[in-house]
Amino acid sequence: MMQGGGVYRAPANLARGLELSPEVHCQRLPAASCGSRDALLDALASGLAFPDHFGHNWDAAWDCMTELTWNDDKPRIILCPLVDESADSGLDNEVLPAPMAAFLEVMGDACAHWSAHERTLYVIIVHQDGRVPTWLSTIEPFPGHQVLA
């Protein structure tokens, strides 16, 4: 089993397969607009059952991410589906939206935190099969075959 974790991207069909794998604990967040800080924080809070006192800011998200619990040594995978942003959404598919940049930073830091504590956390940005926004192509594809080996 691959150790370390990290932030990756994957097509929806691979994400569906991960949800069925007995080798990992998989949680799917509600789809959220990558251009909305509030939508991303709400998806985290509801998808991971953050406590009621969650402050709905990036620092509070970091705190909650570092307080996740593990029932065993299986890697945890958090699937983060992208909302299909249409051309009229005002978002540029080539430029990483600032809220998503902050989200990715917090998630990357959380993965590093858990790796230092000998736990494996993957955060996977799920895109539609065959449709990868330009900004997302800078994130490595999920090495599923290595993780599930």
Instruction: Summarize pLDDT for 79-110 with one digit per residue, the tens.
Output: 999 875 544 455 556 678 899 999 999 999 99
Mean pLDDT of 110-139: 91
Instruction: Summarize pLDDT for 5-49 with one digit per residue, the tens.
Output: 999 999 999 999 999 999 899 999 999 988 899 999 999 999 999
How far is 4 from 119, CA to CA, in rounded Å?
A: 7
How far is 148 from 21, CA to CA, in rounded Å?
A: 8
Q: For residue 93, report the phi and psi dihedrals to the nearest 5 degrees.
A: -60, -15
Residue type, 6: G
Residue type, 78: I
The topology (CATH level 3) of 6-147 is: Barnase; Chain D (3.30.370)
How is the chain split into domains, by residue range? Answer: 6-147
Residue type, 135: W
How far is 13 from 141, CA to CA, in rounded Å?
A: 13
Its pTM surpasses 0.75: yes
Per-residue pLDDT, 88: 47
| CA end-to-end distance (rounded Å), the chain | 6
